[in-house]
Amino acid sequence: MKEIRVAKSAGFCFGVSRSVDMAEKLLDEHGRACSLGPIIHNEDVVGELCRRGLRVLASPAEAAAGEQVMIRAHGAAPSVYRELEERGAVITDATCPKVKMIHRIVREAAEEGRFVIVIGMRRHPEVEAICGWCGEHVVLENPAETRLWMDENPNYFDKMITIVVQTTQTSGNFTECCEILKKRCTNLKISDTICLATSTRQEEAKTLSSQCGAMVVIGGKHSANSLHLAEICASLCPAVQFIERSEELDLAALRDVDVVGITAGASTPAWIIKEVRNKMSDEIIEIKAEEPAVEKEQSFDEMLEETLKPIYNGDKVSGVVVAITATEVSIDLGTKYSGFIPTTEFTEDGTKIEDAVKVGDPIEAIVVRVNDVEGTAQLSKKRLDAVKVWDDVEQAVESGEVIEGVVTETNKGGVVVSYKGVRVFVPASQTDLPREADLSELVKKTVRFKLTEVNKARKRVVGSIRRVAQAERRAATEAIWNEIEVGKKYHGVVKSLTSYGAFVDIGGIDGMVHVSELSWARIHQPSEVVSVGDEIDVYVISFDREKRKISLGYKDPEANPWTVFTNRYSVGDVASVTIVKLMEFGAFATVVPGVDGLIHISQIANRRIEKPGDVLTVGDIVEAKITAIDEEKHKVSLSIRALSAPAPAAPVEEPAAEEEQSGEDVMVYDLSASGEAVGEVPADPDEA
């Protein structure tokens, strides 16, 4: 190997990271907790949580009254929630927000009497949970199953069907299944519910595997998204290793490969990815070490002089461990002095000496005391480590580099972050939290920050989280403005709601989803569709670089009522319509949800009537003929009269010119947002 490339998106996705954090919080607060099934598809992570007090339940029946039970990111069926509640368990719901959205879609489909098709792995816990929220449904795993199901169920071709997809499916499989269904089914509502993080990870895997001679995919053997990554890589790369941890890595198979890529599933923690990378990096170092090196040969006199060189207190020295006893570790310094380090330096934190250091290990240390009579030197590795850390701290201040640390505690006026063992004080104003926020919410979290002040003599270090956060937000904002285009999709978080819309953070910048773009149905408040904190997928409708404004859309274009109408009906078709409003000049009737047509008063009956209410009532369902469709203005004209038998001839009481009717010609009209006719409405369609 000459080069290792790691996919940027490898590792925990938001949903997995969120569920693990919630499990750790439950264990911190209660000491013990349960999860319904393994939280994620990673035995190491689940094993560690179990050691901390987590109990994995195979079914709700195993839960005891009062136990803390967590629903994992895959979600659960309504029946599971009910059973847990009946058993008296305390439920913590860690269902991924993206999965929650699928539950809402299929639940609403069931309420509307729609048949649901789920594209996904039939026995996967996420799919099983989704099915629990459905009414009548079927699970289809691939295009072959889809074709077979269509051939065997032609009676579903005209039914109202909603399609959703497992969040970790490949976009290729989903698209191919949908294309098959579109060819025969006439009333489809398709929701692309593949997680954005999954799509990103799969696209990176495609790119990386096409550039590398070999790929290493890290993930659980039962993880759907990891299995899909392995399939994608295998289709583009000749050599793929699918492993769960570094011990399974076959280095021999990679030695002759120039470039090796690494990607990992959503349930793979960062430390496993790091272990695999480090093991591969060591192989690169070993290969380089095998290459012949040209060195200058020392003379005997030079080597002798080197061994007789004196050392002094405070000197930095290096050597090799040659012996380990119960009290000290002996170091060969390559001089006339024999060095030793007390074993307590290696075992203070409870670590066993055999786990901390081994014979043959290289060691760097500081000389503490020299005994010229005995030819010995007491050394300290801890002091050198401390010196190195302070050197790193001073260098970080000078360079302004971004570093990481863990918040260990709150302090008067701020928080304390541990960086390589050094306590860094971050004032409250530099935490990037709102003024009224509770600083304790940062404790135990890893944060990115810059060091702003260091006083080595006083051991005082000050840092700022806010500087890094602001810089990252600016960079993210500029990146969005550089790449933004109409139609581009983003995964965002709802930040606030107003009466006219919702503001969504799409990665450092807020865009506005107008209330009219939240749903095809008529709604009064944005809160009817979304809530603050919701994660939603949006797309760009328009933007203004100068004013820094972005208009976003949320409603699914596939569900456009006008598209549904035009796909189903044409001029001349007969439809069952529902009367929704009566006016002096006619009646408005719903053809499909979201599309109303006008039945002019002259087209209500085959006789002259005084007002529409003489014949019709709001809520009536009647048969009407579609007599005109205005594609540009989205208007529909209807006629009941066209389906009625001709009325008996009546005595002529008025001039013929006034008695003439226009047959099936129907007026063209404008509708306001409230459904009322706008502009002058003629009394007879002949006047239109």
Look up residue 311 and give its amino acid. Answer: I
| Strand (E) or helix (H) holding 578 | strand 574-582
Q: How far apart are CA 134 and CA 150, in angstroms?
A: 20
Q: Which amino acid is at 632?
A: E
Question: Phi and psi at residue 486, in whole multiples of 5°?
Answer: -60, 130
Which residues 6+ apart lie within 8 Å of 274 measured at CB?
none
- Alpha-carbon span 165 to 194, nearest angstrom: 6
Alpha-carbon distance of 314 to 367, in angstroms, equals: 5
The secondary structure element, H or E, covering residue 150 is helix 143-152
Residue 246: helix, strand or coil by DSSP? Answer: helix
- Measured CA to CA in angstroms, residue 465 lies from 362, 405, 434, 435, 469 at distances of 36, 10, 13, 14, 6
Q: What is the DSSP string of 245-259?
A: SGGG--GGGGTT-SE
∠ at Cα 375 (372, 381), nearest 5°? Answer: 100
Kindly name the residue from 48, 67, 111, 126 that is annotated as catalytic. 126
* Alpha-carbon span 466 to 483, nearest angstrom: 26
Q: Give the count of alpha carbons within 13 A of 163, CB side only.
A: 25
Query: How far is Cα 608 from Cα 619, in angstroms, rounded to an integer?
Result: 22
Instruction: Answer whether 214's CB lies under 8 Å from 260's CB.
Output: yes
- To the query of whether residue 398 is one of the catalytic residues in this protein, the response is no
Measure the CA–CA gap between 171 and 173, rounded to whole angstroms: 6
**Amino acid symbol at 386:** A
Phi, psi of 385 (to 5 degrees): -60, -40
CA dihedral over 201, 205, 207, 208, signed as positive or negative: positive
Dihedrals φ, ψ of 107, to 5°? Answer: -65, -45
Q: Which residues contact 421 (CB under 8 A, 6 or more apart)?
A: 385, 386, 389
Give the three-class secondary structure for 466: helix
Closest C-alpha among 613, 628, 616 to residue 685: 628
What does the CA dihedral 544, 546, 549, 552 come to, rounded to 10 degrees?
Answer: 30
Torsion, Cα 636 637 638 643, to 10 degrees, reads -130
Task: State how far the Cα of 98 lies from the Cα of 101, in Å rounded to an integer.
Answer: 5
Separation between Cα atoms, residue 503 and residue 98, nearest integer Å? 19
Q: Which residues are catalytic?
A: 126
